[in-house]
């Protein structure tokens, strides 16, 4: 796997690096021998996770406290990465928030906060690191979006709208910067067990009820998402640009299957099959 992905000595920047997914991505990149830049808000967590990765995998790591919505902090992060490593190979945009609210109760401030972090933050980091990639004539971006970018996540305020924006931003980057050797793709996870959602799955009814909706009949794990991210971040996907990779076990292609039929869909088909 290490040789197949060829990520050794690549310089990878991950935003949201100490969140549920970010922790997994940074570890998997480090395990492949990549040097990892960890960007997030919590200095203590960043420093300790960064040190642990360097000790465990013998790679170089660089923790940077930076708010992805603040241009000056992100620009300073780019300077720091270039001063330390001389280049930036991969950017993984992960930092986002999900806040619940029915639309009719959502304040404009709450809407703006979500747009600021989930969409404008992705733009700010993409532009700042992208300028360096354009200069280098090479670079690769993977943006964590969600299946909720396509199908609305009800009662989640601006979340789906912001993520739909991320999917289009990624395509626009691909279309404008492909000529400079920069690729941009999205990963769209759904129904994944993360530290945040773990509590849901301790209820066997929820576990069973959710698994039943998925074509693959199981809940996604962090490995499933991380494998997709590493593939898109590697040269193995070199001719994939502006794509959206759904990693949802087939949940999103199951709509017709969710519509009840007398006796159950499969039984109905068996009973009415013309031999």
Ligand X SMILES: NC(=O)c1ccc[n+]([C@@H]2O[C@H](COP(=O)([O-])OP(=O)(O)OC[C@H]3O[C@@H](n4cnc5c(N)ncnc54)[C@H](O)[C@@H]3O)[C@@H](O)[C@H]2O)c1
- Considering the rule CB under 6 A, would residue 19 count as an interface residue with ligand X? yes
Catalytic member of 57, 122, 155, 159:
159
Which of 121, 130 has the CB closer to ligand X? 121
- Considering the rule CB under 6 A, would residue 170 count as an interface residue with ligand X? no
- Which part of the chain contacts ligand X (CB under 6 A), choosing from 19-27, 51-59, 172-180, 255-263? 19-27
Question: Does the annotation mark 159 as catalytic?
Answer: yes
- Return the structure tokens found at 234: 């590697």
Cα distance between residue 109 and residue 128, in whole Å? 26
- Which part of the chain contacts ligand X (CB under 6 A), choosing from 2-10, 186-194, 251-259, 267-275? 186-194
Smallest gap from Cβ 21 to ligand X, in A, equals 3
- Considering the rule CB under 6 A, would residue 63 count as an interface residue with ligand X? no
Interface residue with ligand X among 119, 124, 174, 192 (CB under 6 A) is: 192
Smallest gap from Cβ 144 to ligand X, in A, equals 4
Smallest gap from Cβ 197 to ligand X, in A, equals 5
Query: Which residues, numbered 72-131, are part of the site for ligand X (CB under 6 A)?
Result: 94-98, 117, 121
Smallest gap from Cβ 131 to ligand X, in A, equals 19
Residues comprising the chain, all counted: 275
- Which part of the chain contacts ligand X (CB under 6 A), choosing from 27-35, 63-71, 102-110, 253-261? 63-71
Smallest gap from Cβ 182 to ligand X, in A, equals 21
- Which part of the chain contacts ligand X (CB under 6 A), choosing from 66-74, 103-111, 127-135, 252-260? 66-74
Phi, psi of 202, deg, nearest 5 = -75, -15
Nearest CA among 41, 51, 23, 45 for reference residue 226: 23
- Considering the rule CB under 6 A, would residue 41 count as an interface residue with ligand X? yes
Binding site for ligand X (CB under 6 A): 15-16, 18-22, 40-41, 67-69, 94-98, 117, 121, 144, 146, 189-190, 192, 194, 196-197
Catalytic residues: 159
């Amino acid at each position: 796997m290490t040789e197949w992905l060829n990520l050794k000595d690549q310089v990878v920047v991950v935003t949201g690096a100490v969140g549920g997914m970010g922790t997994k991505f940074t570890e998997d990149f480090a395990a492949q021998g990549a040097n990892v830049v960890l960007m997030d808000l919590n200095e203590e967590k960043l420093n300790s996770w960064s040190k642990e990765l360097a000790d465990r995998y013998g790679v170089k790591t660089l923790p940077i406290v930076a708010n992805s919505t603040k241009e000056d902090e992100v620009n300073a992060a780019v300077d720091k990465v270039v001063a330390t490593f001389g280049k930036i190979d991969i950017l993984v945009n992960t930092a986002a928030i999900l806040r619940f609210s029915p639309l009719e109760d959502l304040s404009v401030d709450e809407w703006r906060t979500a747009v600021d972090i989930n969409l404008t933050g992705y733009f700010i980091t993409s532009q700042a690191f992208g300028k360096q990639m354009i200069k280098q004539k090479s670079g690769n971006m993977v943006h964590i979006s969600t299946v909720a970018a396509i199908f609305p996540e009800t009662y989640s305020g601006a979340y789906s709208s912001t993520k739909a924006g991320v999917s289009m931003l990624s395509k626009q980057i691909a279309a404008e910067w492909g000529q400079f050797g920069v690729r941009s793709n999205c990963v769209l996870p759904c129904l994944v067990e993360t530290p945040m959602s773990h509590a849901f799955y301790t209820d066997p009814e929820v576990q069973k009820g959710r698994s039943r909706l998925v074509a693959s009949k199981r809940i996604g794990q962090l490995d499933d998402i991380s494998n997709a991210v590493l593939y898109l971040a590697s040269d193995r996907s070199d001719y994939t640009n502006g794509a959206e990779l759904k990693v949802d076990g087939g949940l999103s292609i199951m709509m017709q299957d969710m519509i009840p039929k007398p006796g159950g869909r499969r039984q109905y088909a068996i009973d009415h099959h013309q031999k």
